[in-house]
Structure 1
Amino acid sequence: METKIFKRDELDEAAELLRQGELVAFPTETVYGLGAIATRDDSVKKVYAAKGRPSDNPLIVTVADAEMMRPYAKEVPERAEKLIKHFWPGPLTILLFAKEGALPSSVTGGLKTVAFRCPDDQLTHDLIKKLGYPIVGPSANTSTKPSPTSAEHVYHDLKGKIAGIVDGGQTSFGLESTIVDLSVEPAVVLRPGKVTPEEISQVLGEKVLINRGKVADKDVPKAPGMKYRHYAPSAQVYVVDHSEKFLKLALDQKSGVMATSDILAKLTIPEENKFSLGDSLLEADHNLFAGLRYFDDMKNINAIYVEAFNDGEESWAYMNRLNKAAGGKHI
């Protein structure tokens, strides 16, 4: 299969491919998603096949606005309306009870709930509106690999497996959306992202819990990223908890380092073995997946050392992804 790259003026062709049951990747402010019409079971199953994704890992439904979501939700409670008004379009995914029979079980994982997201990306809004249907939107990468933050990343992983990629350039944030579960009380953040539990709590006027548990092998996760291995390059990743420890590492030409610029400047390893996370947590959020992909393409690298951040809730999303990539291995 040829994988075509679509520009802004070619959205009609991209929408037609989706209408025909094909897969088309699309940009968001977080990472690129892999699109298929959410109501078509045959198309959705192609997503699992292209990604190599476990079939019990439910998918997020991506909409152009809140009105497009309503026919597929059993109800939209006042709590959801508050979050939609405050955070949509944006990097917040809302888990609600699904309307019975409105979506195939390949989307919901057989659960009674479904997650909805309205990304802050005009290209994708235009694509969905031209299509006239919501689309599923898992990250457009090979399952377990770092999520894609550019069209080039998608092409690297899925060339020949999907029909097209809408090129929206580099994503602006770089880590997947926050997922909040409103099917329970109090609300629970299932996956951290740019929108913090504190921000959600302030809008709702109620305490919001944080899920830190692991889903059992026999159970279906409520949302993506809760059960299976994620974000990992081929080489072993290690989390370096304190910056001074970088200077004590026995680094060699098979070592890759991802850290802030001031740390990299102190290391006497080849420049190609360094990847700058920038100079702040915000820049590190944006650069984390790109760095993991950079070293994944370097066949001589067998260990990747990555700087940790300890900035409270603000760094929770970054550390969540990094810990998953490292399999919990810290130095």
Structure 2
Amino acid sequence: METKIFNATTVDQAAALIKAGQLVAFPTETVYGLGADATNVAAVKQVYQAKGRPSDNPLIVHVADVETVERFAKPLSVSAKKLIKAFWPGPLTMIFNLKPNALAPEVTGGLTTAAFRNPNNAATLALIRSAQTPIVGPSANTSGKPSPTLAQHVLHDLDGKIAGILDDGATQVGVESTVLDLSGTQPAILRPGAVTAAQIEAVIGEPVLTEQHHVGATEVPKAPGMKYKHYAPAAQVYIVDHVKDWPAALAWAAKQDVSVGVMATDDVFTTNQLPANCEQFSLGEDVESASRELFAGLRHFDTETEIKDILCQAFENTGLGAAYMNRLNKSAGQTHFSV
């Protein structure tokens, strides 16, 4: 099929495709999502097919208002209402217990819970309202590949596989939303993101579990990114843990008989001589810019077949750095550069 490009002035046309059971990628403040009517089982099945996504990997449901959540979820707790007031619209996804048979198992992975998010993007909120239905929205990429932060990234992976893309330029955050499980006895972060554990705890006044990011091979994950390989380019990524390690890492790169990609902040490039066989991709000045640019850098080198190895800068595993390191560790398969 032809993949059409829409913008903020043609949102209603994109929404008409959603209503008709088609797939339309949409922008959020984090990454681009792949949208389909969350109440249309046939449309949801197409999402898995287009992405090559495992069927037990549940989908996040994107909504334009709290009332939509209340149609499907059991009564929201006081903590949930406080978090909605504090962080919606924004990069916080929350998992709630569902009313019986509220959503199809294709959305929930067969679970009795579902993840909901109210994205902070005007064009996408207009899309949801115009379509008059909540829309599922996993990242709009081939499953396992780096998430898309530009419409062009979506087109690279899914051109001809989906009906359209709502283009709203580059995303602002660059790593997917925080996923907070509120379906159990204690709140637990299943995927770190821009909304941190400390920020959540400050709102609800109780501790949040933070080391809940993985499930076993036979378990069904409650949230994306907990079970399957994610964010990985074709090249092998090596994490450079400390600034002092860069001279040794670049000396190693210089000895390779192929080109090596280097992803780091500007200070690394200004204080180190880049070998002739290395190509640089700037992560900006700090962890905030690095989080925004991480997937773009991985995708940049994924399009250059001569790049077989990528050296990428680590950050402290706190705050937004926890989200950045979660994605980087998965893209590298936990592989760190060592002297």
TM-score in terms of structure 2 length: 0.95
The C-alpha deviation readout for 1:59-106, integer Å capped at 9, x for no partner, is: 000001111211011221111101000000000001000121121100
8 Å contact 1:92–1:180 — kept in the other structure? Answer: yes
| Aligned residue number for residue 325 of structure 1 | 331
The equivalent residue for 1:4 is: 4
After TM superposition, the structure 1 = structure 2 runs for residues 150-189 of structure 1, keeping only pairs within 5 Å, are 150-189=150-189
Counterparts of 1:103 and 1:204 in 2: how far apart (Å)? 28
| C-alpha distance 327-87 of structure 1, shift in aligned 2 (>3 A) | same
Corresponding position of 1:87: 87
| Conservation of the 8 A alpha-carbon contact between 1:39 and 1:102 | no
Over 2 Å off, 4+ runs: 211-214, 267-272, 311-314
Aligned: 1:261 with 2:261: no
- Quote the residue 1:290 is aligned against: 296
The C-alpha deviation readout for 1:237-273, integer Å capped at 9, x for no partner, is 0110012222112214521100011212323235971
3-state DSSP class of the match of 2:316? coil
Counterpart code for 2:34: L
What SS is found at the alignment partner of 1:5? strand
How far apart, CA to CA, are the structure 1 residues paired with 2:277 and 2:167? 30
How far, CA to CA, are the matches of 1:295 and 1:134 in structure 2?
35
Q: Residue 53 of structure 1 corresponds to which residue in structure 2?
A: 53
Matches within 5 A, 1:104-143: 104-143=104-143
2:198 corresponds to which residue? 198
Letter in 2 for 1:263: V
Report the counterpart of residue 224 of structure 1 in structure 2.
224
**Partner residue of 1:316 out of 303, 322, 325:** 322
Is this contact kept in 2: 1:28–1:120, CA < 8 A?
A: yes
Q: Secondary structure at the match of 2:319?
A: helix
Partners of 2:30 and 2:179 in 1: CA distance = 13
What is the SS of the residue equivalent to 2:115?
strand
Unaligned runs of 5+ in 2: none
Match of 1:241 in 2: 241
> Is the deviation greater in 110-119 or in 212-221?
212-221
In the superposition, relative to structure 1, how do residues 272 and 16 fare at CA in structure 2: closer, same or farther (>3 Å)? farther
- Whether 1:280 aligns to 2:283 is no
- The CA RMSD measured in Å over matched residues stands at 1.2
Aligned residue identity for 1:278: G
Aligned to 1:62: 62
Whole-angstrom distance in 2 between the partners of 1:10 and 1:271: 45
Q: Secondary structure at the match of 1:227?
A: coil
State the percentage of identical aligned residues.
55
How many equivalent pairs are there? 331
Deviates more, 1:270-279 or 1:117-126: 270-279
Where do 5+ consecutive residues of structure 1 fail to align? none
Q: Work out whether residues 95 and 113 of structure 2, in 8 Å CA contact, stay in contact via their aligned partners in 1.
A: yes
Q: Which amino acid aligns with 1:114?
A: A
3-state SS of 2:34 partner:
strand
Separation in structure 1 between the aligned mates of residue 217 and residue 318 of structure 2, nearest angstrom = 30
Deviations for 1:265-321, whole angstroms, at most 9, x for unmatched residues? Answer: 323235971000001111001000000000000100110010000152331000000
2:62 partner amino acid = T
Give distance in 2, aligned partners of 1:212 and 1:69: 24
Q: 2:67 and 2:16 mapped to 1: Cα distance?
A: 22
Aligned equivalents of 2:300, 2:273: Cα separation in 1: 19
8 Å CA contact retained: 2:260, 2:277: no
CA distance in 1, matches of 2:46, 2:167: 21
Distance across 1 between alignment mates of 2:108 and 2:318: 32
Looking at structure 2, the residues matched to 316 and 308 of structure 1 have their Cα atoms a distance apart, in angstroms, of 10
Given candidates 297, 305, 310, the residue that maps to 1:299 is 305
C-alpha distance in 1 between matches for 2:291 and 2:213: 23
